A and B are shown apart, each in its own frame.
Chain A
Amino acid sequence: MDSDRELLVRLARGDMVALGALYDRHARRVYHLLLARGLEAPEADEVLPEVFLALAERGRKLRHVDNALAYLLGIARHLAHRVRQRRPPPGLALADPAREDNTDIAAMQLLRQLPPEQAEVVVLKVWHGLTFEEIGQALAVSPNTVASRYRYGIERLRALWDEG
């Protein structure tokens, strides 16, 4: 199986199969990060392809990218921020009850009680099994900061769990 680096080099040459492979490898992480950053599921559905299209658009510059996940999460955070800023007023908010069943809502409702910085760390650690080191590289923060955010996030979630 090709490494991320090899896939990026292939994508830089215009190989769209490599883009598909990167999507298969990282789409869930990116999607969950978008949700953790406060996007609704329909918004995340819109943004997820944009993240990978933005990656493909970089073309030859991808040869200089070392960490594909960090790059994708960087784009995702940027786009999530932009979507949140352009949201319609609360009364017109997007809602798609068909997309989220009760268990999804429970997990997301818990995560949305956290600040986005803590929620994204908890998602990447608990649901995707990344280490603090890997999360730190992906989010461009130190592992100590990641550990601190994780600890605060988990404490808050546990309190919410015990309440509920």
Chain B
Amino acid sequence: MTEFEPRLSQMPLPEPPPALRTRMLAQARREHRWRTVERVWRWTLVAAAALLLIANLHFAQAHEREMVALVGPPGIERPIETKVFVQSLAHRQRLLTAWCSGEFPSELKEERL
């Protein structure tokens, strides 16, 4: 450091007003409180949303079980018996042909398309 720097350092610079410290700390405390309250609200909302999801899942499963108990498992889960299905189709086709030709067999009169 040469002679110039000590002389330069003797020249005062403006200082921050003391009131700034008090004002800054008051604002920091206020913002800290707000952040804390905000954080509590955010976690409350997250917990509520999670509970809602869990409850929804639980009731959906319970409802599904009730429905199965009432009507049995959905049809798509039952294996289709191909032979019975083809026989049923052939029978219906025979009925339709007979009805169209006017030769409706008496033993089949009870049946309707």
Chains A and B bind each other: yes
Verify B13–A57 contact, CB threshold 8 A.
Answer: no
Verify A56–B32 contact, CB threshold 8 A.
Answer: yes
Given contacts A49-B23, A53-B24, 17 further A-B contacts (CB under 8 A): A14-B36, A16-B32, A19-B25, A19-B28, A23-B24, A27-B16, A31-B14, A35-B13, A45-B16, A48-B16, A48-B20, A49-B24, A53-B27, A110-B8, A125-B5, A126-B8, A154-B5
B contact residues around A108 at 8 Å (CB):
13-14
In the A-B complex, list the 10 residue pairs whose CB atoms are closest, starting with the nearest.
A49-B24, A107-B11, A31-B16, A56-B28, A104-B14, A126-B9, A41-B14, A158-B4, A103-B12, A126-B8
Verify B32–A123 contact, CB threshold 8 A.
Answer: no
Verify A161–B4 contact, CB threshold 8 A.
Answer: yes
Which residue on chain A has the smallest CB distance to residue B32? A14
Verify B25–A35 contact, CB threshold 8 A.
Answer: no
Is A77 located at the chain interface by the 8 A CB criterion? Answer: no
Verify B8–A20 contact, CB threshold 8 A.
Answer: no
Output the least CB separation between B63 and chain A (Å): 43
Q: How distant is the Cα of A45 from the Cα of B13 in the complex, in angstroms? A: 14
Q: How distant is the Cα of A127 from the Cα of B27 in the complex, in angstroms? A: 29
Q: How distant is the Cα of A20 from the Cα of B24 in the complex, in angstroms? A: 9
Q: How distant is the Cα of A14 from the Cα of B24 in the complex, in angstroms? A: 15
Mask: chain A, 25-69; 1 = CB below 8 Å from B; 0 = not: 001100110010000010011001100110011010000000000
Please judge, given known A-B contacts A154-B5, A157-B8, whether A44 and B28 are in contact too, CB under 8 Å: no
Is A95 located at the chain interface by the 8 A CB criterion? Answer: no
| CB-CB contacts below 8 Å: A137-160 with B | 154, 157-158
Verify B28–A52 contact, CB threshold 8 A.
Answer: yes
A contact residues around B24 at 8 Å (CB):
23, 48-49, 52-53
